[in-house]
Amino acid sequence: MLAQLLASTLRVSTPLIFAALGGMFSERAGVVNIALEGMMLLGAFGAAVGTLVTHSPWLGSACGMGAGILLAALYGLFAIRLRANQIVAGTAINMLALGLTPFLCKILYDVTGSTPPIPIDQRFRTAPLYLSWVLVLVCWVWMKRTPSGLWISFAGEHPEALNAAGIRVNRVRWLAVLISGALAGMGGASLSIFLSSSFSRNMTAGRGFMALAALIFGKWKPVPTAIACLLFGFAEAVQIRLQGVSLLGSKPIPVQFIQILPYLVTILVLAGFVGHSRAPKAAGTPFQRE
């Protein structure tokens, strides 16, 4: 029972971890990334199509990451190059992904709902789950121990200082946003070819925003962010098991109440802890060299 609960928690939090780590790169570098949801969605689609074409989940997830990078590049164009408002641009990217995926689906397979199912032997069984935790470690080392990790932090905290040190701030931000797209795309891929067997319309169902909340709760640091994702995953897994359970032998707890648990946890956690959590200082402010 406990082992199953744990396994369920790990599965449910896998896409969140990828997306939240992706968000971390972009936001630590000073680009608010509300577009995670859209990047995940296009990533989920890209991965499903890639797997259907290549019959390999690995190549498929590479396609998913590629799709995420493409969308991130578009976002970067607006948010970094053209210095657009990042919230507005991010929302636009989300809406674009929402409309683009059924459209492409229609062109490729003449259906608007979902891609054809992927056979079980061409899907991931557990790989993305382990990969996500390896990635947490890699990100931790990267941000803590490498010069490029430091540049990313400075691009988000003191872009002027980074600029004065002779590093191009916007180049660092571009890199961070593209990594962000790749990881969010991988998060989407784990939805379509790991946790289910096809892409279906709007299948992310708000997971990109959950990832964003986990990122804020995790204070923009890799390990706490991953733990926050685990917490959300746990709330979801418990929610699944609590449905229909009766308390004190009376009528079952209303299912609607149980279903709000993950969201309730999100709100409580954010309201309770975000006071100590501070966003990168320059997040949301486009950088322009004088």
User: Is 111 one of the binding residues for other proteins (CB under 8 A)?
Assistant: yes
d(CA 150, CA 141): 11
**Least CB distance to other proteins at residue 175 (A):** 30
The answer to whether 199 touches 101, Cβ cutoff 8 Å, is yes
User: Is 260 one of the binding residues for other proteins (CB under 8 A)?
Assistant: yes
Task: Please list the residues that pair with 114 across neighbouring strands.
Answer: 200
Residue 153 or 198: the one with the smaller Cβ distance to other proteins is: 198
In the numeric block, the tokens 């892409």 are attached to: 199
User: Is 236 one of the binding residues for other proteins (CB under 8 A)?
Assistant: yes
CA trace torsion 86, 15, 153, 231 (10° rounding): 110
Residues 6+ apart with CB under 8 A from 45: 64, 67, 101, 104, 105, 115, 188, 192, 199
Give how many residues touch other proteins by CB under 8 A. 35
d(CA 184, CA 208): 8
Q: What are phi and psi of 74, to 5 degrees?
A: -65, -40
Q: Which stretch binds other proteins (CB under 8 A): 21-29, 48-56, 107-115, 281-289?
A: 107-115
Residue 8 or 277: the one with the smaller Cβ distance to other proteins is: 8
CA trace torsion 161, 81, 41, 70 (10° rounding): -110
Neighbours of 130 (CB within 10 A): 11
User: Is 17 one of the binding residues for other proteins (CB under 8 A)?
Assistant: no
Binding mask 180-199 for other proteins (x = CB under 8 A): -----------x---xxxx-
User: Is 11 one of the binding residues for other proteins (CB under 8 A)?
Assistant: yes
Residue 237 or 283: the one with the smaller Cβ distance to other proteins is: 237
User: Is 126 one of the binding residues for other proteins (CB under 8 A)?
Assistant: no
User: Is 256 one of the binding residues for other proteins (CB under 8 A)?
Assistant: yes
User: Is 213 one of the binding residues for other proteins (CB under 8 A)?
Assistant: no
- Binding site residues, other proteins, CB under 8 A: 4, 8, 11-12, 15, 98-99, 102, 111-114, 117, 120, 191, 195-198, 200-203, 205-206, 236-237, 240-241, 243-244, 255-256, 259-260
